[in-house]
Structure formats: structure tokens, C-alpha cells
Structure 1
């Protein structure tokens, strides 16, 4: 996994699905290709499909981002004869403090809005302004007082500063509202006072009075505008307070049906626990559209397969807006099962997925259902299209379903026949035409690469990051994935890699084979337009060729091919350090900014500042301790060419000289071989300097330093999320062991021999870890014989360890038990002490 260096804590603060990661957002798990927002009735946008929040279009702060019209503000704009804009009216109703309204009443213009309107505004709209003064006075109190229920599932605290309706003098307020109601001459203002009377009684928990007030003050006015339904919403709340759930549900249903911006609250307020509750609403409906509304509630509440309900709605009214909402939800539900951003597979599925024409995925237990759902949904959409005629909406939906089902020709035929001037529809049509053309391409040829860069250049443009650091996966990401998948199938690995990654990402998986392919692409002449686009993704590395050579040199060092490593390192003189990013809060504290990591003087940067302790041995195993605390070296005075601090060229020079010296027969040759063994072990996955030859900046734990990575590359569809899935070619511990054997053969000192054997044993331990990781014995927890099988597994692993990977320990125990080294190891090395006591 990529080591992201973060200098401030990351709190994105929203977690709908209880994922272990606090920033997890399920809407980022799939490609948002089909635009649900193509429905024309924007009042239904909150009911589009989302898994990230309770309603669609809400941000992390619970604020609505979409343009659902506020009918109350719209009505005030009309009431004031359009003298105020929508924004000015919204400010007057929701933001201007009551003191400014009172001042206006006195003829004082203390707010810039009233300075613009003049003193005559109050006299012209006196009843309205007096109403607003009363409404603004009451608004802070207009919430019901919360009473803790001892049987409540959870405990809820309230802010002592929060106000509620019971803090107002009930008798005085109620009488005042009734008096104002009676005095008002404008029916619209009178209805607004009636609404306040019902709401005040509801929030005062005087439920019966609230219901009676609706009958007394609202109904006689015979105005069925939005304020009527706002008042009905309050009446329904009172009915629910009296446990009159059927009445409350029906009234809330009327609010849901007849208001623009009260739909979410009306839906939330309904008590719809069983199908019986829905059926009671359905039984009272009279018009086809009312029935469709009721069916929608049922489908929305239990959203699995909506097709049967959609068929009923089509029979009622194909022109229904709410039917279209259910349709786009269904399409997006299907899309989420097909177009998953990060498809993974088990061993049985991988080969199947490699040859897909789309990077599609559905879990095993849902695959068949997905196919049936896709077929049923297509049939239903065609039925609606045929019944409705040439409605572009249904044609677009049919074309997209065909696209998902890989019928690109059929999809393209439908799209080419659609006649429309609607901008949203046109955008979808052009997008789907492009996707059909790209996805249906059997082979990505140079001519096609030039074509799509000319024809669809805007798709490949860089998009700005949003305030939550990552952008929602969308069309561009999908196109890049499609092309990456095609290149992967065609074994054009370099282009497949660069479609989803930057060149610097190779540091997280420095796989020699892939690096060579990327280097060959980098050197390729006469690149196509698309290939030149990919070359730009290499610009995050200052000198790509030096970057490649460091990777090659590192691999050669791990393979003990020191001369080849030297050659590569000498070609990497312009290497500026491992290209890594750090993330910090922006100055305004609202978002993250990224910048290149800078390495302090004297700190290892991937090339420079390598300590001579790399030739030493462990005093104790502590990766996060300082080098001089964990490591100790000896005999370096015999080799003055080994510097205290080296770059990789100097290190390669030093090991070449050591290798030459090690070919001799004296004690200096013994020491040279011992130091070479130490170097290879210390830079292995088990060593303190394990970061030196795997393109890492430190030895902190991560996937690079785990066993089992050598099994296979973790990429099977494309190189998606390359930096999050580590693949490092395995250490060859035999290389270190062979140098230790040479040193052992040349050693004449029992203490030194014992220390060499222990270092050999450490390398053997690495070989055992590799074997264990690559030979897992899987036992299911629900296996009735779990305990017995687990014991057998332990016996097998212990036997294998002792028979094959403890030869050096066996020699130590048999021949060196009297040495000081042996006795010291018994107390300082737990696993050796345990071994010798058996």
C-alpha cells in the first residue's frame, strides 16, 4: 500500500455505511456515468439513488447541493410583485434580522436591502411585513421540546441554548396569532397566520388543538397553495403525536405529492413499517398519478428489484415524473453492479474477468440476479417507450441498458435516431455514443488512438480536485479504465499502466519486467496523440531515465550482481530522490494540498546517505530505533574504501571490492564475505535497512515488507490502484547464506563461527517465512474439526521449519554450546533460546 505522508490529521467526517475507514463514501465505489439528473422535475432529485446519505444531493455537512426549488421563496417573490430577486427575497425571509424589519416599520432604513427599496416598501406591503416580524420572532422557538423516553434505544442530549415552543407563553402567543389571523385582509397572509397557529400548537404538544385549528383556520380559506400543505404537514405531525398513524400517513402523503421542497421531510415523517401501511394509502388514491406516487413510496422504501412496481406504474401513467425517477434509480442500481471502480476477483474468477469487454463485476451471490434484473429492466423500459411514443427519455434509457449489456451496435442505433433539443439529453446522447465507440473497439490501434484524442479531447482533460481531496469517479475515469483494460489484454503493459498511474507510482511496485516495458515506451519514437498524453503522466519524475536505472540497480544489488548494479547506478547521476508527495491542510483549513517531499540533508533519499552500518549486524531487532541503536558493525577499519556515508555508486564500488577480496583465503577474505552476507540480509525484508533496494524512503512497515508477494502480480484486469497493492520480487536468502558459508569456511575462530551461523540462521528464517506464506493451509472457522486441523497444521509447520530451515541452529546447538556467543544468544534471542531448550 502506498505510504502517504500526512502532516495533519485527516477528518472527512461522514460515514454512512459504517466502513472501517471514517472517510469512506460508497458513492465513490462505482462510475457515475448515467446522469440521474436528466429527470426534468427537479423536486424529485433528493430521491435519486445514493448510498452515501439519506437523500441524494446532500453534502458532508447535510446541506442540499442540488437546485430543488423553494416554493415558499418563489411565492414571496410573486407577492412582492417581482421587485426583489429570488436571492434578495430569500435573504429577506431567512437572513435579515428582525431588528431591521422593526426599524423599517419605524421609518428607519438600517439594512442595505431596505435602503434600496425605500421607506414606501413597508406601507405598500404592511400586512406582509408585520407577518414577517411575527414569524421571525417565533422562528427560534419553532421546534418541539424533546422528552427523553426511558425505553429509547439511544441517549440524546440537547444544547441548553436550544429553544422550543414551550418556552413561549402559550395563552398569550395563541391569542395573538388568532387576533392577527382575524385582522389580516389578504387571504395569503391570513393563511400564513393559520399555518403558524397550527404549527405553534403542534410544537407545544397540544395535538388535538393543532388538528382543530387546521379545521377552524385553514380549511375555511379554501386556498390549496403550498402554505395549505405546509399547514397540513403540521396537522399530520399532530396526528402522529396522537398515534393516529393512518390519518397522519395520508396527510403526509398529500404533502409529499403537492409540495416541492417538503418531500423529504414528508417521506421521513410517514410511518411505513409494512406493506399494509402502503396499501392503506394506495386504497385512498383516486387518480393514476396518485397511485404512482403510492407505488413509488413502496419501491423507494424497499429498493430491491423495482421492475414489478414499475410495470404497474406504466399501466397507470407512462408520463409520470415519479416513474422516471424510479427508472433512473433502477438504471443506476444496475450500473453499480456492472461498473464497479475497483473490481477484485478470487482465483477462479480472475481468468474469466481478464477477457471481459467491460471491467464488470458482481459478487457470486448476485450475478444471476443481476443478469435477470438487466433483462427485466430492459423489457420494462421498452414497454414504457412503446406506450409513450418517441419520448427521448425512454430512448436514452433503452440505449444505456443495451450499452451495459454490451449491445453496442443496438445502443448506437437508438442514439442516432433520437431527435431532441434538450441540453441534458444531448449531453447524455453524445457521451453514450462516445462510450459505444470506444468500448466496442476490438483492438486499440495507432489510428484509433489519434482518432479519439482528436474526437474526444475534452474527456482526457485534467479535472480539478474537489474539496474532499478525491473526485467522484465519472466518465473520464471509466474511459481510462476501458483503455487500460484493452492494453492489458493486448499485452501493451506500459500504456495500460500509465492510463491509471503516474510514472512515480512504479516506486510502490518496482517490478523489473513492467519497468522495462515502461522504459521502452518512454524511449519510443513517433508516438501517437494518445501516447503523448500518456508521456505527460511521466512528468512527475524529474529524470525518468535515472529513475529507471535506480530501480534496475536496486534489483541487481538484491540479486548480488554488483557490477551490473554499479553500471546502472552510474547512469542515475541525475536522480533527485524518490518522488513522493506529502499532504497538508491548505492555509484556509478547508482542503488538502499536495506537494513534493523534500529530503533533509543527511537523510536517505533513495540514492544518497547510506550508512556503513548496512554491513553490520543486529544488536536487537527494532526498526524504528536509530541505526546505531539497532545495528553494530565490526572490522570496517580493514576496508578504508567503505565510507561512513555513501551513495549507491559508492556502495556498489565498495561491495565489488569486497567481493574481490572475498575470493582470497585469509581472514580478511572471511570478513569480506561476512560483510557481504550482512549487506544482503540487512537489505532483505527482514533487515533493518530493508528500504534500500525496494524504492522506499524508510523501513516503516508496509506491504513491501511482507512475505508471499512473490506468488504473482496482483493485477489481472489492468494496473488500477497500482500504488495500493504492493508487488516486490522476492528476496533470495540463499545469496546471503552462500556468502556466510564462504565466511564460515574461512573462519578459524569459534566465537566468530558461532556468530556467522546465527546470521545464517536468520537468513534461513526468512526462507521459512517465504515457504509458510506461499503454502497456507486454509481452515474454515466453522469447520467442526477446526481444533484438530489447526493442531495438525502447527505440527506440519514446526516439522518443516526444523527439518529444512533450522540447519544453522542445529549446528550451533551441536557444536558451539560452550561459546560466549551461544550463551548470549540464548538470553537475547527468544526464538533461539526456545529452540535450544527443546
Structure 2
């Protein structure tokens, strides 16, 4: 069951989560309330915290979702005197085919972009256009020839693996680039040709030539723009090819520091195996910001507690963007441990957590040295905040840490003092003020409910695309869970349920107590505005009253209160069937589309089309076989009022008639009691028709049909994930046994008595399963006496089973061993055969 629990102590392990399933998304496991993206330098966004992909901001296809401007395109926009927009320039540089550029060179306008610009565009920017023609010619080949195993450093794109730099004529291409470099008069174009030379030699595996070209053609230009660092990136690759790792690391570090959209590739290209590699970079840094960059790489790569490193960075430069990146990463990691979407707890833990305000955190295991991470992080943030020149970013961070540590008053006080015009900061301030107010409420009163819809209506009107498996939990989802927990604590179960569920979801756990509370809320007069908002979540059922009555009728049936069941069913004549949805994935693989289930004619729909075989007995136990294959009718010809197909009203009526007949003393009374025992067993968790009275559409295995903690509800903190945690009141197998006992006393046939005893034994087996599930005999795997204790537990369970839950088997073995029924059961029922062999 999902919970949200939090203490000020925190175990913070900076290691990436991993799961076996390819579709698993660890970023779905927590409520991301603190927007990491508030850092001002968006080029650092890929280095924000994510466990779903290698870098933050990439979708499931490896495409960057974030809009980080391409500095190369920006430079071309400026070069072309802003005659082209960013998008037009991007098209010219990366999308327009080379044939159109060659046509333009001949004075032919074959592309719409050039038709707009005119022939004079080539004349004015001839050097640039000639460069683009050369660059587009070379681009398909600009990758290294991949050598299996020997080149793990280089990325291999399977789609274009057939082309690489070695397929170009080396001498001709190299000479052409040198000639074009010398002919160009514009230093920027010269630098671009120099870049192509360094890259071409790198990808041709002529590593030393690549380094020499950088020194010969790049450095003399003395231009330190982005193309210089692009060329330096290629030189560093060549150095790495020569295993000059220290030189390569330093050059890649310069690329990381000085480019906008090469930071990820530069980081990936560094050879950072030990702390020594970082220290060598750190030793070469000269400015405070350079040192902060080096410290960031150390913290980012090692996943250690970042607080000591952050403190060093604060001393260097409090307003460093890279320091802020590390800070929001640390806060986000803290948030992941505090605001878990699907937490679980055992009974003891939940008793402890039930009366704390949320959010709360309780680690299963933690080390002493990491227990105070939240406290240490807050102290570091306060240190930065108090530095001269520190901006409101640090106040915002401190306010959020206080919120996580349940100091809502302190958080609100800081938020109220922040003065800023930054739109992103203002949005966070407004959000955190709302969260502080909601989470700090000691009781959810009608007045507070009305204020929710007055002040925060927009939050509750947000519609998340829950059918999309890529959807991430939102602020609204967090608020919903908070309120659901508050209502649960205050024993307002109906509201707690409706915060996370629709009315139709009751079908998955139709326990009477909760259903009754939801019905009472449905009928409650004078609802608040917020309560009316919750009522809308009941609109997925056209006739809620009939829905409730069917659930009540089902429960009465399982309690053998057949007259009461008929009364409830009679009030649900308009019931249209279980409101089940069927779904399937769209072709995009992300979107799950649901449609109402359509029941075919003659098929059980939750109310109609119940087969008379529900009164029969098992031929063999196979839930997925057809009814006539698994079940056999028993004496139905004696009771013509039992129809072949019945609705629940008709079924209840037939049962009532059987119950009246069963009060007699003749063989017909014996058969009536036997049929009633069959019905109760067949509709129990062990029976072929186990779906009939638990709001299910078929007998396929699922949470409803498994033995678990049956004596109490599994919902400890709220009703989140309602359909995945089953709680239907347990079967009372004694009810079936009592009818079988009546039948046994009235039976005069030895074979019939033997079969009744076996049916009683099957019901006793159900009682044993309940006992076993509610009395788990646990032995820890690390117990040195694991095998010995496990064997003792097994012996104890078998002893209990034989002494308390095998009375009918004992009678069969003692008194009916000569019957054909007994001999047949020995061969057809394995566990009975095993029992009798002992």
C-alpha cells in the first residue's frame, strides 16, 4: 500500500536505481515538487538528477526534450546578419540538401528558402556557402571506423555504421581542406575549415596529425569562440586515441566549461576512473569558477554525499551556476527519499506512522554518517544564503528543505520574505506556499475544504494523462495523496477513497465497511464545494444505488443471509453489469486506451447469466476449463425452480426455497442442504464460481482469489493503489460445512456420505489456508539455524493441519475406505491420496 512518511533523519545513497524490466522508470517513483529547472543557465539541464536516462531531459527514444539553443546555429544567425530566423538557419545548416546549395551557386533557386533570399544571398555570403557545401559533402562520413571491442570509447550508430571517414580519399580530402583554409579570408570561416581538418584526421585515426593540425591551423587564428572548442573537442579525442588521458581530460574539461551543447559529450569523453583523475584537472584550474567546475565533476561522477564538496564550492563562488546545479540535484535526491509515490509498510511501521503529519520518511537501513544529510544540506544552503551577493535562489532552497523537514511555519516565513521578479522563482514560491498551507492543516474542516476550492481550484482541475505510461507524478497528485491521508487519519474513509479512486473502483475491493461509508457520503446532504468535487468522481457509475445494493447483496450471500441478499438484489433491477474497463496500448507504445467492457449475450456480467452448475460439484479442479468440464450437476431435477441460467434475484429466490426444503428430514432435504453447501463452497475463494459474489467478471486468478492477511484491511495510510491491494472479507467456510453436516446426518447412502465428507474436507482445507496465511512462520535467510527452524515450522504446520483441519479426511479414512468414492478419490485427488498413504 502506498504511503508517504518522513523524518528529519535521512539515509541518502547517491547511487542509481536499477530494475530488471526495460519499461521500469525510476523517475516515476517520487513526487517531483521542487523544479530542478529553476537554474538560470539551461545548458546545465542535462546534468540535473534523473535515473531514467543517462542525462536529464531525454525522452524514451534518446531525444532531448529540453530546448537548449545550439550555439553553432546561433553563430550562423549572427554571421548572416540576422537575415534568417533561428529555425531557417538551422534548416540551411542541417536540413537543406547539398544539391540545393550547388544549384544556388549556379544561380538556380531550387529550394523555397533560397527563393525567399534570392540569388544575391550567395554572392554576399559566398565563403560561408562554399564552406557549407564542403561540410555537407563530408558530414555523412564524419565518424570513426568502428573496431569491435577495441573502441568502446567511440559511439556506434547502427543506422550509419556503413559510412566512416576512411571511405573518403584521404590525400585528396586533406589537401582540399588545407587549400580552402588558405583561400578563405574570413577568420571565422578559416576556423571552420581548421575544425574540419582536425576532425577529419581524428576520425581517420591519424591521431597525431589531428593534434598537429590543431596547433598549425586552429591556434594561430587566436579565436576562442565555440568553433575553437569544437576543434579542441576533436583534438582531445585524438589525444585519447593516443592514450594521453591527462591531456585529453584537460581539453575535454575546457570543452565542458566553454560550450553550450557539447557538455554531455565532453563529460562522457573524459576518462575519470579515480579521484586522481579529478585532482589532476583541479590542479590545473586557476579561477574560482574553474575549480567549481572540477568539484562538480567529482560530485557528479561519484554519487557521494555532495555537502563537503558544496561547501568548498561556496567558498569559491556562491553564485556559480554549476554550484546551483549540484544543489538542486542534492535537494532532488532528498525529495526522492521523502516523497515516495508507492511506499509500503508493515503493520508495526504503520502504527508508528499513522499519527504523524505528512510528508514523512523512514529508511529501512541507514548508516550513522548519512543520517543527518538533510540537516547538513540545510546548513550548507544557509551558508550560501548568507554569503555576500547571494540571490533568492538560496532562500527558496532553504524554504523547501524546511518544508521537507515538516517545519512548515519556518518555510512559510522564508517564502514570505523573498523578493524577486524571476518568473520561475515566483511560480515555485506560490506552489510551496500552497503546499505548506495544505500539509500543515491539523484537521480538514468544512471551512478549509471550501477554501481549497476557492484558492486552489486550478490545482484540482489539472488533468494528468494517466493513460500515458510516461506520465510523471505532479503537484496535484501529491496534494491528492496528502488530503487522502488526512481524511484516512480522521476516519473520513469515503473522502479518502474518492481522493484517489472513482466509485467503480470499489469493485476491486468490495468490502462492506468501506462501501457503506461511501454510500453514506453519496447520500450526505449539504455538501461543501470540495465534497461536490469528490462526488463527480462517482459519475462513472450511472446508478450508484444499484451498484451499492449488488455489493451488499453479494456480501449477504457469502454470509448465507439469503433473504437479505434477495432484498438487496431486488432493489438493483436496473443494474447493467460490473463497470469493467478493457484497455490496450496504442501503436506509439506509450498511451493506454480504455473502453467499457461489453458483455456478450449469455455471459455472466456481475448480475445475470449464472449457471445452475453453481450448485454442482468438482469433477476436477480447473478454473479455466468450461463449466461443464470442471463441474457436474447434482440432483437438480428434484428442484424444477432452479433455472439453467439465473440472475441474482432468481438465484437468491431458488436458494431460499432450498433452505426451506432443507429444514425437512427426508432425502430431498438432504440434497437441498448438500446443494447449499456446494453453492457456498463453489462461490468461495476455492470454488469454480468464485467470482460471483466478489464483484468480478470471471474466475481468473487475481488478488481477490489469494489468501493473505484476511483478518484486517491492507490499507493503512489511505486508499491509494486500491486495485492492487486486495481486501474482500474472508469466506466463512463453516457456513458451507454446516450445510454439509446437515446433509450428512440425513444421508443414508454410504457413497453419498463419503462424497459429502470429501466436500467438507475441501472446505476445511480453505480454513487451513486462512490459518496459514494469517500465521506466517517466518525464518530469516541469514539465520544460522535457517534449515533447522524451517523444518520445525513445516512440522508444526503439518501437525496443525492434521489435528485441526483434517477431521473429514480422518473420518473418510477410518470409516469409508471400502467405498468406490474413497478409492476413486485416492487416485484422482493427489493430496487425499498422499494423506491416506501415511
Common fold: TM-score over 0.5: yes
| Residues 315-369 of structure 1, C-alpha deviations (whole Å, 9 max, x = no match) | 0011111111111111111111111112211333211211221132342323866
**CA contact under 8 A between 1:542 and 1:576: conserved in structure 2?**
no
Q: Report what 1:531 is aligned to.
A: 531
Q: CA deviation at 1:709?
A: 3.3
1:65-119 CA-partner distances (Å, limit 9, x unpaired): 0121110010111111111111111111111111111122222222211121122
* CA apart distance, 1:539: 1.1
What residue in structure 2 maps to residue 572 of structure 1? 572
CA contact (8 A) 1:619 1:632 kept: yes
Kept in 2: contact 1:496–1:718 (CA 8 A): yes
* Partner of residue 287, structure 2: 287
Match of 1:187 in 2: 187
Deviation for aligned residue 1:155: 13
Aligned with 2:268: secondary structure? helix
Q: Is the counterpart of residue 775 in structure 1 residue 769 in structure 2?
A: no
Partner of 1:221 in structure 2? 221
Return the offset for 1:212.
0.5
Match of 1:558 in 2: 558
Provide TM-score, normalisation by structure 2: 0.96
For 1:468, the equivalent position in structure 2 comes to 468
User: SS of 2:114's equivalent?
Assistant: helix
Is the CA contact (8 Å cut-off) linking 2:467 and 2:593 kept in structure 1?
Answer: no
**Equivalent position of 1:645 in the other structure:** 645
* Deviation larger for 777-786 or 678-687: 777-786
Gaps of 5+ in 1: 3-15
**Counterparts in 2 of 1:415-434, with a 5 A limit?**
415-434=415-434
Equivalent residue number for residue 196 of structure 2: 196
Q: Which stretch of structure 1 is more off in the superposition, 35-44 or 781-790?
A: 781-790
| Alpha-carbon distance between aligned partners in 1 of 2:133 and 2:156, rounded to the nearest angstrom | 33
Counterpart-to-counterpart distance in 2, 1:803 and 1:587: 57
CA gap 1:150/1:243 in 2 versus in 1, 3 angstroms: closer
Given that 1:35 and 1:428 are in contact with CA atoms closer than 8 Å, whether structure 2 keeps it comes out as yes
Distance 1:204 1:374, change over 3 A: same
Q: How many angstroms apart in 1 are the aligned matches of 2:632 and 2:736?
A: 18
Distance 1:824 1:152 in 2: 67
Cα gap change, 1:615/1:24 in structure 2, threshold over 3 Å: closer, same or farther?
same
Aligned to 1:745: 745
Equivalent in the alignment of 1:454: 454
**Aligned counterparts of 1:145 and 1:161: Cα–Cα separation in 2:** 8
Residue 410 of structure 2 is matched in structure 1 by 410
Judge conservation of contact 2:146–2:154 (CA < 8 Å) in 1. Answer: no
Secondary structure, in 3 states, of the residue corresponding to 1:230?
helix
C-alpha separation in 1, matches of 2:401 and 2:785: 48
Distance 2:590 2:33 in 1: 28
CA distance in 2, matches of 1:539, 1:440: 31
Query: Counterpart of 1:595 in 2: which secondary structure?
Result: strand
Tell me what 2:790 maps to.
790
Distance 1:390 1:423, change over 3 A: same
Between the aligned partners of 1:405 and 1:155, the Cα distance in structure 2 is: 44
The equivalent of 1:495 in structure 2 is: 495
TM-aligned CA distance change 1:717 to 1:566, over 3 Å: same
Report the CA distance between 1:460 and its aligned residue.
0.2
Indicate conservation of the 8 Å contact 1:343/1:360, yes or no: no
Residue 10 (structure 1) aligns with: none
Q: Which residue of the partner structure matches residue 13 of structure 2?
A: none
In the TM superposition, what is the alpha-carbon distance from 1:751 to its structure 2 partner?
1.2
Whole-angstrom CA distance in 1 between matches of 2:53 and 2:158: 23
Map 1:360-759 → 2, pairs under 5 A: 360-366=360-366, 371-389=371-389, 391-465=391-465, 468-469=468-469, 471-586=471-586, 591-759=591-759
Partner of 1:13: none
Equivalent residue, structure 1, for 2:5: none
Tell whether the 8 Å contact from 2:584 to 2:592 is kept in structure 1 after alignment. Answer: yes
1:350-399 CA distance string (max 9 Å, x none) = 11211221132342323866651111111111111111446111111111
Find the residue that maps to 2:146 and give its secondary structure.
Answer: coil
Q: From the superposition, tell whether residues 155 and 264 of structure 1 become closer, same or farther in structure 2 (CA, over 3 Å).
A: closer
Contact 1:343 1:361 (C-alpha < 8 Å) held by counterparts: no
Partner of 2:174: 174
Secondary structure of 2:365's counterpart equals: helix
Secondary structure (helix, strand or coil) at the match of 1:52 reads coil
- Partners of 2:797 and 2:789 in 1: CA distance: 12
Q: Distance in 2 between matches of 1:117 and 1:222?
A: 33
CA contact (8 A) 2:27 2:50 kept: yes
Is 1:819 the counterpart of 2:819 in the alignment? Answer: yes
Q: Is the 8 A contact 1:582 1:594 kept in 2?
A: yes
Give the match for residue 83 of structure 1.
83
RMSD: 1.9
Cα deviations by residue, 1:265-310 (Å, 9 ceiling, x for unpaired): 0001111111111111111000000010001101111123111111
Contact preservation (8 Å) 1:253, 1:267: yes
Q: CA deviation at 1:44?
A: 0.4
CA contact (8 A) 1:337 1:370 kept: no
Q: Distance in 2 between matches of 1:121 and 1:19?
A: 55
* Counterpart secondary structure, 2:189: helix
Query: Secondary structure in 1 aligned to 2:148?
Result: coil
* CA distance in 2: counterparts of 1:632 and 1:370, whole angstroms: 64
Counterpart in the other structure of 1:255 = 255
Higher relative contact order (CA 8 A, sep 6+): 2
Partner of 1:8: none
CA distance in 2, matches of 1:156, 1:36: 32
Q: Aligned-pair distance for 1:192? A: 0.6
Paired residue secondary structure (2:372): helix
Equivalent pairs counted in the alignment come to 825
SS at match of 1:531: helix
Tell me the alpha carbon deviations over residues 133-163 of structure 1, each in whole angstroms, 9 at most, x when there is no partner: 1111111111111111379899999568631
Counterpart secondary structure, 1:441? coil
Q: 1:562 to 1:367 in 2, by over 3 A?
A: farther
Report the TM-score, using the length of structure 1 for normalisation.
Answer: 0.96
The verdict on how the C-alpha distance between 1:599 and 1:725 changes in structure 2, with shifts beyond 3 A counting, is same
